[in-house]
Every structure is written in structure tokens, then in C-alpha cells.
Amino acid sequence: MKLGILGTGMIVKDLMKTYDEFDVEETYVLGTENTKEETEKLIDTYCLTGTYYDYDEMLKSDIDIIYCALPNHLHYSFSKKALEAGKHVIIEKPVTANAKELEDLIEIANQNHLMIFEAMNIHYLPAYASLKEDINKLGKIKIVSFNYSQYSSRYNAFKEGNILPAFDFHKAGGALMDLNVYNIHALMGLFGKPLDNRYMANIEKNIDTSGMMMFDYGHFKAITIGAKDCKAPVMNTIQGDKAAIVVNTSLNQLKEYTVYYNDGKSEVKSFEDKHRLSYEFKEFIRMIKEKDFKKQQEMLNLSLEIAKVMVKGRKQEGIVFDNDR
């Protein structure tokens, strides 16, 4: 397999820490004139194959997979070109700015027998798979509360009028897209599509700097909180009438959780301290090599349902991206 990486941001550098574990023969990075120094440094530091500064030239090559790690508003256009050029695509979360864009990519991929993956690592963590099974120990689920609040260094610049992509509605930013997306993936990966959802957000300069999404599952209720303008100690809980599960890290870092039973007993589940991105990329490569379209489609259907939930929530608060127009 040959990999083409779009972007040189923090998530790409994070991925490189576990890159040696992947079954990839060659890796190229697409840079721009503005990021040339950073791109060349990335190649040298991690001994990658080479660079491209023209996307069309990269797509003409024999690269098999494009990993799109660009700002949110560019996911659709760059991934569409990759699919039209016959490449599989791994798209950094959130997969697209809205559900319509993802539906369009899925149609193109299906026509060309190609695969699309949303790089949402939660679903591939061993601890998350175990937590899914341990849900059965809780009895009837009553309340779920997930919180990912992380004060952003970019928020200070935002308040001063320097609007970076993470807080830019022109670039599909905001707390829902950046942080709460993790909580929503974790929730819907466990419990599926809700009966209804409602977003309430703190809006500044047409973007949500923090907010909470409420979900109605009929027999239980859930809330997911994502904040970039404030922070708090992390605690994620799933409460049933027999026991509760508590996670004291953000869910994309899930390596340990505790089951607390009503009789006072508790059970700690711990998993190997391995890089969080290694599991998802290994699985993406496996699905491509083995042509496991069934598993890929299952995950893609989940990504689409979540995209619809997030669009509905944004509309409720009047958050409109340029990609929506």
C-alpha cells in the first residue's frame, strides 16, 4: 500500500509516532509553498518517501490511499478529487462539514468500488470494545453524560479578533465539530441513532465556543458536552439501575474505566498503553487489503447518521458554514 498525506498539522505529526507499525510501503506528503519547510522537515524526521506540491500530480501517481488531514472545510473537495482519481480516502474527523457532502462522497465511492473512512479512533480502541460489552452489566440504562472540555489556546486569539480555523464558521469550526464530535461518536457507537436530539450552545461571532447536545433515547437520556472556552476535570459516566461506568479521560484517549456496582463493589478495566491512532489505521489498511466492504459500510453508515445529528444541532442554534450554502 502507498499512502498520500494531505497536510502537516498536529494530527499528522501525532500519527507519525506510530507510523512504523503500519503495513505501508511508501508515504508521500502534500505541502504548499507556505508549508514547504515544515513538509520537508516531516519527510526527513520520519524518513518518508517524498513530497508533492501539486495535488493533481499526487493523484496521477500510483498512491492507493489518500489521508485528508486538512481543515474541516476542505475535507469534501479534496476527498472528492481523490475518489474521482481512483483512490481510497481516510478523512480526519469530522468527516465532512455536513451530511450532504458525505452522501455525495459515498455515491462516488460506491460507483468506483472505493472505500471511505472517518478517522475517529474511538471505535477501534480495545477499551471501547470492552466497554461496549460491559454495558450489559449496568442493567437498564438511565443517564449518559460525556464531557470533553478543553480550554483552547486559540480562544485567547479569537477573543482578540484573530480567528483561526478552529473558531471560524467559514472553515466549519466550532466546539461541536472539534470536540463534541468525539462524545457523539462514542454515544451513538454504543446506543445507535437517538429518537431526538437538541443542541444548546454558547455562540460568539457566529460560532459555538462551547455547547451541550441532549439526546432522547426513549428509555434513557444522554448529554454530550464540548467546550473550547472553558475546562473542567474530565468525567464520563454511563448510569444504569444496577451499576455505572466511569471514565476519567476524554473518550478518544480511553485506556481504562471502572464499573461501580450498586452493592459497593467495583471493577477496574485497564488496557495496554499503546498509541491511540495505531488501532484505527491498522484496521483501515486491513479493510482495504481484504476488501471488507461490509465492515467499512457499517462504520460509514454510523458516520453519516452522526453527520445528520450534528447538522440538525447546528441548525437549531443557527450555526451556518460556508459549505452549507
- Per-residue pLDDT of 58-76, as tens digits, reads 999 999 999 999 999 999 9
The pLDDT of residue 42: 94
Long-range contacts of residues 232-238, Cβ cutoff 8 Å, at least 24 apart: 232/147, 232/149, 234/147, 234/148, 234/149, 235/145, 235/147, 236/145, 236/146, 236/147, 236/183, 236/186, 237/143, 237/144, 237/145, 238/135, 238/138, 238/141, 238/144, 238/190
pLDDT band at residue 199 under the 50/70/90 scheme: very high
Task: Name the more confident of 22 and 220.
Answer: 220
List the beta bridge partners of residue 155.
none
Quick check: helix, strand or coil at residue 149? strand
Contact 84, 77 (CB under 8 A): no
pLDDT at 172: 98
Q: Is the pLDDT of residue 206 over 90?
A: yes
pLDDT (mean) for 106-125 = 98
pLDDT band at 303 (very low <50, low <70, confident <90, very high): very high
For residue 20, pLDDT beyond 90: no
Task: Tell me, yes or no, if the pTM score tops 0.75.
Answer: yes
Judged by average pLDDT, the poorest of 104-113, 123-132, 271-280, 301-310 is 271-280
The pLDDT tens digits for 207-259 are 999 999 999 999 999 999 999 999 999 899 999 999 999 999 999 999 999 99
pLDDT at 39: 94
Question: Which pLDDT value is given to residue 162?
Answer: 94
Query: Please, how many CA atoms are within 13 Å of residue 6, restricted to the half-sphere of its CB?
Result: 27
Average pLDDT on 180-199 reads 98
**pLDDT at residue number 176:** 98
If you average pLDDT over residues 93-99, what whole number do you get? 98
**What's the confidence (pLDDT) of residue 262?**
97
Residue 273's pLDDT is 86
Spatial CB neighbours of 91, under 8 Å, sequence gap ≥ 6: 68, 75, 79, 116, 117, 118, 119
| Mean pLDDT, residues 117-144 | 98
> Residue 23: is its pLDDT beyond 90?
no
Mean pLDDT of the chain, nearest integer? 96
Greater confidence (325 vs 228) lies with 228
Angstrom distance (rounded) from CA 46 to CA 14: 11
Question: For 37-56, how does the pLDDT look when each residue is reduced to its tens digit (9 = 90+)?
Answer: 999 999 999 999 999 999 99
What pLDDT score does 245 carry? 98
* 8 A C-beta contact, residue 313 and residue 208: no
